[in-house]
Amino acid sequence: MARIKTYSNDTVVVANDKWIGSDSQASFATKNYTAQSVADFINNKGNQLQSLRYKYKSTPPRNPGTISFSPFKANNVPYSTITSWILSDSELKSPENISSFYTSPLVGSDILITQCDDITQWAIYEWDSVTDVPGQKLFSNIGLSFRTGAGGLINDEDYFISLLSYQGGGDLSFIYEQITPATTWVIEHNLGKFPSISVIDTGNTVVTGEYTYNNINKVTLTFSAGFAGTAYLN
């Protein structure tokens, strides 16, 4: 057998490539390990400290540790189309009920979701609301507002959900962007209060109008002429 250092280097690693190693569960017997098996180990075991891990399921039954929809959706669901999902009250690596975390600090905050083995599949949402799922005590219906992202949920893939920005712990504020000119702006801010409001147009000119507070989480702004701009609520 030639010395290991005499073999050429392979700079392109694919799933079926193999390494030689020792199996600690079989008296350290010498065995082959594929690149795919090593990747699976890193994703499934090496990230055990990562909280809020779920598996997307497109078909029933609705199991612990899963993301799903009501009604169930396709095997591949673009992130940009998602306005809510059904989330298990426990995540994949632990049976502990963590549903209280869904309310505080997540409601009103931004979250990042990434596919565990492909970080190019990601999205940012505002976590808008949490409600019970009728007849299913161990699941919560999460209302979401899509911010930005790429890709979508793929059946049987695992996903991390992480808190990206926290809106609690003090006086809350919200920034609303009106992209297309309009005379009426309907803003769901979820601040849990009747906020003060300042509005500027795209030329940074302050604009005044009529503000109707629909409730403590929603306000309607009405102007005499349509324009695009930004509303600052605090």
Q: Mean pLDDT of residues grouped by 10 in the chain (234 residues)?
A: 71 80 82 77 51 92 96 97 96 88 87 89 92 92 93 96 70 84 93 86 91 90 95 89
pTM of the model: 0.56
What amino acid occupies position 227?
A: F
- 204 and 148 within one domain: no
For residue 48, the model assigns a pLDDT of 47
Query: How many separate domains does the chain show?
Result: 3
- 108 and 90 within one domain: yes
* Residue that terminates a domain, selected from 111, 134, 165: 165
- 141 and 105 within one domain: yes
- 159 and 196 within one domain: no
For residue 210, the model assigns a pLDDT of 92
For residue 37, the model assigns a pLDDT of 77
Per-residue burial over 66-88, b if 16 or more Cβ lie within 10 Å, else e, is bbbbeeebeeebebeebebbbbb
User: Residue 108: left if φ>0, alpha if ψ -120 to 50, beta else—which one?
Assistant: left
- 40 and 12 within one domain: yes
Per-residue burial over 109-128, b if 16 or more Cβ lie within 10 Å, else e, is bbbbbbbbeeeebbbbbbbb
The DSSP 8-state label assigned to residue 206 in this structure reads: B
Domain interval for residue 59: 53-165
- 156 and 69 within one domain: yes
- 8 and 71 within one domain: no
For residue 168, the model assigns a pLDDT of 55
